[in-house]
Structure 1
Amino acid sequence: MDVAHEVTLLVEEIKRLGTEDADGKYNVTFGTLFNDDRCANIFEALVGTLRAAKRKKIITYEGELLLQGVHDNVPIVLLQA
């Protein structure tokens, strides 16, 4: 698995599904990403890709681990375009 490539794809999907705020940062909820058919086909382990992107300071979200259902409304913010 090429983590860097998966993170690049994640950035593209956040831009596609998210909304841009006044600061120029894209925001999307975890539920939106998780329930999107295209993302389901791209990411074998979405949560792992999110954690890798968070460690690289490309995105941010509250908490360590996001779980479908419980964290559907948690916003994910793209820090780097």
Structure 2
Amino acid sequence: MTTGIRATMDVSHEITLLVQEIQRLGSKSADGQTKVKFGILFNDEHCANIFEALVGTLRAAKRRKLINFEGELLLQGVHDNVDIVLLQE
């Protein structure tokens, strides 16, 4: 298997784990979408053990239109109250 294919598979796996963690930590809004604050996700001990690069995984999931959040990059502290919205359950 080439390095590029393995990297794509790893990213896909991390995105799958990310969706599971958003479902675990988030809550359904009135419109039925699951949302979680970036700070909750970032500061969760279980997430810290899973994701080496949480911000990179979030950006990859956003590019694949599985999640949405305001802006391009989320930073701890500054963006703790930004909602991460799960677009596909």
Shorter-chain TM-score range: over 0.9
| Aligned mates of 2:65, 2:32 — CA distance in 1 | 16
Q: Deviations over 1:29-65 (max 9, x none)?
A: 0000000000000000000000000000000000000
RMSD across aligned C-alpha pairs, in angstroms? 0.7
Identity of aligned residues (%): 74
- Alignment coverage as a number of residue pairs: 81
Structure 1: gaps (5+ residues): none
Choose 1-10 or 45-54, whichever is displaced more: 1-10
Partner of residue 28, structure 1: 36
Output the TM-score relative to the length of structure 1: 0.97
1:75 is the counterpart of 2:63:
no
Output the TM-score relative to the length of structure 2: 0.88
1:12 is the counterpart of 2:20:
yes
Secondary structure of 2:84's counterpart equals: strand
- Report runs of 4+ in structure 1 exceeding 2 Å deviation: none
The structure with the largest alpha-carbon Rg is 2
Q: Which has the higher helix share?
A: 2
Choose 60-69 or 17-26, whichever is displaced more: 17-26
